[in-house]
Structure 1
């Protein structure tokens, strides 16, 4: 890995990535560093981030690991404050962290699952976005990308609480885009379909056969690799997407078409 890319897509930018310990977030950490960003990787525990940070630094890049619990508003705000301590500014944020619910129909979804989905997948992003925007506007703007889900675009009978909170995330993504556009802060979302991550592995364990079912539902005939999703986020965070805000971009191989 070579990270000292002064001509990369994200060259010179400071980017925060939540949910960076695995899956799409881990892929984004490596990709954004390759594209020249100074990355701050956040997850509930930093142990899983240390290897990624070490690899990026060994390649000449700049990376740090910080702890964040998206279900705890104070923890989210402290994480953004730590970015300011490290770099003095924030140019981009990839709000990718999430939690999955226990699969099952709406009338079998527990109150505890609904509450956890709200705390992490909706309120956690709300808190992160407002804190990130406050830091970004001090240096003239920035870009935010939120990871939603293909399940936010249609009925989601197997993951109803998850789908509901992701649909709500789409709404606040669009609202924030309109609200903060005059301040030079762009806000977009991505809606991945089936992606080969540990979250999908957990779903397969709970619902055997779901991976095969998901792959068959994709016109391209396969699930996405995490890096393929991260590539879209990288572009949206870059100056090449300077006129794109309020977009919810599908990254699903045509499954939502």
Structure 2
């Protein structure tokens, strides 16, 4: 198994993407520490993992509260012995954020992703890195989406926030590499099996005056495979990137857009 005997923290583990990643990590042998603000959702995922024979623990953590983040990571290390993988998968509702031209946005609408995603990733990565440094090993994963690297309208502050996370990931990789810590950012296209994508595509479709299906087809057509990646495809790559089979990878933005971006 790819992650046998690894302790992995997954933030936002109660969400659509987080729960698939958590289940995949557990199936690969990791003890998954589920973190987020929705206690019921986290416990549901933990029950799913343990029912399948995996190891999972759940804790309510506000990723924008540095003391809460630090206390949780310290508790994981104290109880499990290490933190080997940290993956921040938090998300925000996108109504009021996407689907509006930047010149028509309110400052609050533009600021929300800018003040949430980079800060949350900074706090969780910093907490993990402090413990991983003393261990001499560890993997920090982040996730962004294709608009961070392309010119896409109606994204508001989301594209700048994702670009900031990618820059943060590179900086962390440069600083932490000598301590044996790898940092990899996964850049994905929209995942059609995610409820958030349904919300996002409806916002964009409405702005263009077309149907949801028409906008979805337009985005799928932009990929080389003519279909968007699934959550499970993203989770599979995340498990590999977090494993010892990917030790040659750090400081990179892994392209999981299905060819929407070609490099």
Same fold (TM over 0.5): yes
Shift of 1:195: 0.6
Equivalent position of 1:202 in the other structure: 199
Flag the 1:165–1:86 CA change in 2: closer, same or farther, 3 A: same
Asked whether the equivalents of residues 194 and 215 of structure 1 are also in contact (C-alpha less than 8 Å), the reply is no
The 3 A distance-change label for structure 1 pair 72 and 108 is farther
Partners of 2:22 and 2:104 lie apart in 1 by 36
C-alpha deviation, 1:68, in angstroms:
2.4
Aligned to 2:42: 49
1:151 Cα deviation from its structure 2 partner: 1.2
1:137 maps to 2:133: yes
Q: Are 1:145 and 1:190, in contact at CA under 8 Å, matched by a contact in 2? A: yes
Deviation at 1:88, TM superposition (A): 2.9
The question of whether the paired residues in 1 share the 8 Å contact of 2:117 and 2:165 is answered with yes
1:246 aligns with 2:251: yes
1:24-39 mapped onto 2 (5 Å cutoff): 24-39=17-32
Q: For residues 175 and 34 of structure 1, do their structure 2 counterparts lie closer, same or farther at Cα, with a shift above 3 Å needed?
A: same
User: In the aligned structure 2, how far is the partner of 1:244 from the partner of 1:219?
Assistant: 24
Equivalent-residue separation in structure 1 for 2:56 and 2:7 (angstroms) = 10
Please state how far the C-alpha of 1:109 moved relative to its aligned partner: 2.3
The answer to whether the 8 A contact 1:102-1:109 is kept is no
Q: 1:82 aligns with which of 70, 75, 89?
A: 75
Asked if structure 1 preserves the Cα contact closer than 8 Å seen for 2:133 and 2:176, the reply is no
Q: Deviations over 1:72-131 (max 9, x none)?
A: 333333332332243132001112213242421111222112332123211110111111
SS at match of 1:188: strand
Unaligned runs of 5+ in 2: 206-211
Residues 99-108 or 220-229, more deviating:
99-108
Q: Please, what is the CA RMSD of the aligned residues?
A: 1.6
Matched, 1:221 2:205: no
TM superposition shift of 1:164: 0.2
Segment drifting more, 172-181 vs 130-139: 130-139
Offset of residue 21 of structure 1: 1.2
Q: Does 1:70 align with 2:67?
A: no
Check 1:71–1:104 CA distance in 2 against 1; reply closer, same or farther (3 A cut): farther
Q: Distance in 2 between matches of 1:204 and 1:78?
A: 37
Alpha-carbon offset, residue 182 of structure 1: 0.5
Inter-partner Cα distance in structure 1 for 2:170 and 2:87: 15
Find the residue that maps to 1:160 and give its secondary structure.
coil
Higher deviation after alignment, 94-103 or 34-43:
94-103
Q: Deviations over 1:136-175 (max 9, x none)?
A: 1222220111011111111232113100010011111011
The answer to whether the 8 A contact 2:112-2:157 is kept is: no
Residue 253 of structure 1: how far off its partner (Å)? 0.8
In the alignment, which of 4, 19, 23 is matched to residue 11 of structure 1?
A: 4
Q: CA deviation at 1:205?
A: 3.3
